[in-house]
Structure formats: C-alpha cells, structure tokens
Chain A
Amino acid sequence: MTYLADVAALTQKDLRVELRARDTLPAMLLFVLSTLVVLHFALPSGTGDAAAYGVLWVAIVFTALLGLARAWVPEHEHGVLDGLVLAPCDRSAIWLGKTLATLSFLLASQAVALPAFVLFFAPLDATAVAAVILVDVGICAVGSLTAAMAAAGRARELLLPLLVLPLAIPLVVGGVGAAVADAGERYLLLLALYDAVFAVLSWASFEYVVTE
C-alpha cells in the first residue's frame, strides 16, 4: 500500500506540474494532429487502408517521443531527481509514476488523434483501438526508462530517439498487424507480452539508471 501511495503521489505531482506548465500535452496534441493532416495530403488518393494504418503508428510513435523528451525535464530543473532518489521510497516508484503520467498524456492526445484519423483516413475497429492502448503502455514503459537514461547524458535530444525507436519496432509490427491482419487478436497477445516483459525489465532496472 505504501508503494502504491508513493506512485500515486508521484503521478499526481506530474499531472499537476503539466497542468500548470502546459509544456507537454498541448505540444503532443498539435504534433499528432498536424502529422495526420500533413500525411493526409502527402499520401496519394486511393492508397488504401493498409497504408493509412501505417500512418497511424508513425504518428503515435513520434507523438510519444515528443512526450518522452519532456518527461524528465521538471526533474532536471533545480536538480529534483536527486531529491527523489534520496527519498526512502522504492526508486521504481519514480519510474512507475512517470510512466503513468506520460501514458495519461499520450492517451489524452489520442482521444483527439483517433477521431481525426477516422475522419482523414480509415475506420478503426475495437482490435485496432485495443492495439493503440497496448502500444501506448509499451512505449511509455520502455520510454520512461530510456528517457531517464538519455536525460542523464549530454546529447539527450539525440540519444532518446536512438534508444527508443529500435525498441519500438516490435510495437509498430504488433500495432500494424492488429489493425490489418485477419487474425488481429493474435497481435494483441504479442503486444501484451511485449508490455509485460518490458514493463518488468524497466521497473527492475530503473534503480540502476538513477544511482551509481
């Protein structure tokens, strides 16, 4: 219960900081909408739904990257990460709080992006929406860890996409498969497995990222 209380306190803090600063969510919303609009005009007419679903995953991955690039900025201003690391809570709670906050921003951006996708490109069935949620969970779990690693380095803006994009490839494969394949539900299992494995790995290894 104490662990969950720590996670709740840290997530609540991130949501409050974003509510005040409005740095991340508006940028994510604008980015995903403008990406969909640009790709709507960039794709030749009659391209087909399969190509359109590819557009969706590109938009999701890059929007998540935008959110992750900002994820640890409040902790690096005023050196707050040191304060959190010194606190006697389990350090994985810091990762979980950040993951939940980033996930909520990503889901909020998709509450706008998915209707826009349907409007511009193609319909989405329940399997595709479930795949979007699973991809969000996976990319936030692994992305919060890699963003913390990148934030500790010098070229953090460069490092983050280099770390996240290769790890996001299975998510894109699973997401596209769930949206276009006949047995899309099988890809949901792949995504759920990815989420479970990478969430546990990130949860367990976060301590080593923020301490020596």
Chain B
Amino acid sequence: MIHARDLERRYGRRRILFGLDLDVERGAFVLVTGPNGSGKTTLLRLLAGLIAPTRGTLRVDTERAGIGYLAHEPLVYRELTAIENLDLFGRLYRVPERRERIGMLLERFGLWDARNERVSAYSRGMTQRLAVCRALLHEPELLVLDEPYSALDAQGIGLLDRELRELAGSRTIVVSTHDPDRLAPLATGRLALA
C-alpha cells in the first residue's frame, strides 16, 4: 500500500526526514512514534499527499479519494455547523447516501445533539471528534491519523478506540502517537523516528 525509498524532506536547509525506507502492506496498522520534531507530522503529510518528498520515492497505492487524513488542526470551518461541514466534504468526496453516513458518524461520536451548533462554539475535544468524523466520512482505504487522541476526553478516547478496533484489518492505518501502548494491541508494525 505504501512504498518509500530513501525518503527525504527538507524545509529550507533543515532536514526533517532522511534515508527513510518504508513498506506498509494493505490492511496493516502502523504506529509512528518519536520525540517532538522527529518528523512524524512531516511523514504523515507526505503520505497524505499534502507535501512532496525533497528526495527519494514515495508510492501510495490509492487515489486521493481513498485517503482519510486527520491532522493536528481539525480542517473544518469554524462558522459552519457539524452537519454543514460534513455535508460540504461529503459532496466533494461524492459520498453515497451522504445524509445517512453523516448522521451515523455524528451519533457514533456523540455529536448528534450538537449537530446544528457552529464549530466555533465547540470545545477542543468536540472539534477533534468532528475532525475524526471528517476523516472517516468517505470510508477511506488508507487512514493517516496525526495524534488522534489529542484533546479527547475519556469518552472520546473510548469512542475512537472502538472505531479503530473495528477498522483495524479492513483498512490500512498509519497513526502517529506519543502513547503507543494504547494502540499496541492493534498494531502490526511500528516506526520509531529519531
């Protein structure tokens, strides 16, 4: 699913990633760990197709529509409601039976009652739950999750745990985390960046 050879990414003169070889099979669950500044987010942005490698090759065997990306930032509009945000992305991703899918995700992540509130009124944790819904909306075959548990409360963590358990095996999942023990039972591989 993912094949990288001698991958390097620089920002100006600063080399963030270098000499990285990576092979991820379809259906694998890979944890990416490492200290701050080790290049976890850069690697995930490369995998999502948001940035290009400075050197080396990277092949991801899916189209843009097949990638679900959860970033540090939620990638949703503050002035739109949860429903409006998901409806916009559902239209752009051509999600079939969009309304049903949106309703199911909002129910599943405990946002149904707040579905018509603007995101600007959401707490950080609620916004993160909505960001997870946005990343899952189009049922991507590759899920790229950057610190998905950040800002989530105990209930949110439990909901995301359940979702990842259900998706593991049927999707290729790459997760960066500072808490690898939480996801260790699901992981089929681990990449430690220094």
CA distance A84 to B50 in the complex (A): 11
- Chain A interface residue count, CB cutoff 8 Å, equals 24
- Which residues from B are CB-within-8-Å of A200? none
Distance to closest chain B CB from A123 (angstroms):
40
CA distance A145 to B52 in the complex (A): 21
Distance to closest chain A CB from B118 (angstroms):
7
- Of B48, B67, B74, B77, which contacts A17 at CB under 8 A? B77
Flag if B69 contacts A74 (CB, 8 Å). Answer: no
Majority SS at the chain B contact face: loop
- Whether, in the assembled complex, B59 has its beta carbon less than 8 Å from a beta carbon of chain A, the answer is no
- Please name the residue on chain B nearest to A13 by beta carbon: B88
- Whether, in the assembled complex, B109 has its beta carbon less than 8 Å from a beta carbon of chain A, the answer is no
List CB contacts (< 8 Å) of A188-212 with chain B. 212
Interface flags, A1-40, vs B, CB<8A=1, else 0:
0100110011001001100110000000000000000000
Offer 18 A-B interface pairs, CB within 8 angstroms, sorted by A.
A2-B94, A16-B79, A17-B79, A21-B79, A74-B77, A77-B77, A78-B77, A80-B75, A82-B69, A82-B75, A85-B50, A86-B50, A86-B67, A87-B65, A87-B89, A88-B63, A88-B94, A212-B52
Can you add 13 more A-B contacts, CB < 8 Å, to A80-B76, A86-B64, A88-B93? Answer: A2-B94, A10-B88, A20-B79, A77-B77, A78-B74, A78-B76, A78-B78, A78-B119, A79-B72, A86-B49, A88-B94, A89-B92, A212-B51
